[in-house]
Chain A
């Protein structure tokens, strides 16, 4: 087994077991923390594919922000936590079934994709600069629209959370 194949196998094992644990843990906070592990594993996978920028952005956004957001949402919305008698939640087989179905669909779509037929493109040099130029020139409109959408979502969240009281 070559070195890249070995690291890929290790990463895949970590990601798959973490993802399985996300579905099966009974305590939602545990699930969120294991989800952070799975997302970091994905970031490592991007790094193995020489996509430095995507990998680090994945780490920054998903582990640093999204995982924290999920944890906060869980803490702020749940009154009582389930007892820790059973670690794995009883509905795990249903979850596993759904996950397998989704995996099957995705795998079929990817395997029948036209992209697999061509040979692998060469690794791009100076990838970060390339991404920045593409974003500011070719894809500037989608970028701006996404920024606008996120701003609207942010203002909406503030409006929802901060309702004015009738009398101070």
Chain B
């Protein structure tokens, strides 16, 4: 049961001509990734609208199909049949390329995620680096969309988005560094393998250590900002700049932007699961009979539910709060976390390292948090421009 899809793939790959087997096998992996995550996207849009509806005391979609289950299908048909508008002043080629530049890297990033035992599409020696490298292309895509629309709101949204993504990419990568240090490898498979086994009935996941917990929370916050999710949705704030960089997009190109954002969210949540939550490993020894991919997707869906919950709960940040959080709190915290991971490694097993590392992380959290809040004046904002 655990190796069902792996066996299926090998069985299918045997039908190909001898020389073509590697290529055919790769194509099968690609088809599986696109099919699985695209249907997960359809499911998530529905779950998100339903969940937000519950939190806001309304029903959410409930007209199409039983309990609104066919709503994603209806949305898809709608976006395909809508008119594809291109502004007269737009830069046609760049305008056309922008959604593609967003979607393709998002799917590429999924290739290194181990979704189950022996189920990594490509096991790269530097898989984590590959993930961040292809993610870098999304900034270019956002700029292309905002600039080519020749619309002030688009350009403003793109500027906001890039400023936010560049700022939060630093803590995102730095919070992943302790995991790489502990594992001694950039390969996602090796990272999952390093978190195998159980101690005192609890799994050896990195999230259950002081530096791992701090890293996981920092990673999650930075990931929310990277995906432009609420409360970090300034780049597309509907009430401020309409919809930011994709104001001018309609029909299927708009759907592609939507798809790209959700796939990006799945990818970064999947990396969080891989780095901190033990990947496809079961949380308890007596639950290992469940197939590994069920655990991966269960954890992924739990993280996505958390994202939806946060979106329904928190108000949007202001620009100065956004930048202060990134540079004055998350960056020092992430840098300190790297040092704490080193301390953890060199102290050796025992209760002493638990105590010292927890004290350092907790103390830094208190000091930095106080410092961030003491400077925060909640009145009108004082503007100051670079000359």
With both chains docked as a complex, state the minimum distance between the C-beta of A14 and any C-beta of chain B, in angstroms. Answer: 15
Q: Which of B161-182 contact A (CB under 8 A)?
A: 162, 166, 169
**Chain B contacts for A5, CB-based, 8 A:** none
B162 in contact with A163 (CB, 8 Å): no
Is the beta-carbon distance between A71 and B143 smaller than 8 angstroms?
Answer: yes
Q: In the bound complex, how far is the Cα of B329 from the Cα of A131, in angstroms?
A: 31
- Count the A-B residue pairs with Cβ separation under 8 angstroms: how many? 68
Encoded as 1 (CB less than 8 Å from any B CB) or 0, chain A from 27 to 40 comes to 00110010010001
Q: Tell me the smallest distance from the CB of B162 to a CB of chain A, in Å.
A: 6
Closest Cβ neighbor of B186 among chain A residues: A128
Is the Cβ of B143 less than 8 Å from the Cβ of A68? yes
Query: Do A60 and B132 have beta carbons less than 8 Å apart?
Result: yes
Q: Does B206 contact A (CB under 8 A)?
A: no
B387 touches A163 (CB 8 A): yes
In the complex the two chains form, is B387's CB within 8 Å of A33's CB?
A: no
Query: Within 8 Å of chain A (Cβ to Cβ): is B133?
Result: yes
A53 to B125, CA, bound (A): 9
- Cβ-defined partner of B126 (8 Å) among A63, A64, A68, A128: A128
A162 beta carbon closer than 8 Å to chain B: yes
For residue B245, give the distance in angstroms from its CB to the closest CB of chain A: 13
CA A145 – CA B144 in complex, angstroms? Answer: 36
B138-175 contacts to A (CB < 8 Å) = 139-140, 143-144, 147, 162, 166, 169
Whether A68 lies near B139 (C-beta < 8 A) is yes
A59→B387 contact, CB < 8 A: no
In the bound complex, residues from chain B placing their C-beta under 8 Å from that of A59 are: 133-134, 136-137
Interface residue? A6 (CB, 8 A): no
Interface residue? A106 (CB, 8 A): no
Chain B, residue nearest A131 (CB):
B126
A-B contact pairs, 30 of them (CB 8 A): A33-B144, A52-B124, A52-B125, A52-B126, A52-B129, A52-B130, A53-B126, A56-B132, A59-B133, A59-B137, A63-B137, A64-B133, A64-B135, A64-B136, A64-B139, A64-B140, A67-B140, A68-B140, A68-B143, A68-B162, A68-B166, A71-B147, A72-B162, A75-B147, A126-B125, A127-B125, A128-B185, A128-B186, A129-B185, A162-B387
B binding-site residues for A, Cβ under 8 Å: 91, 94, 124-126, 129-130, 132-137, 139-140, 143-144, 147, 162, 166, 169, 184-186, 386-387
Known A33-B144, A52-B129, A57-B129; further 4 A-B contacts with Cβ < 8 A: A40-B137, A56-B132, A59-B134, A129-B185
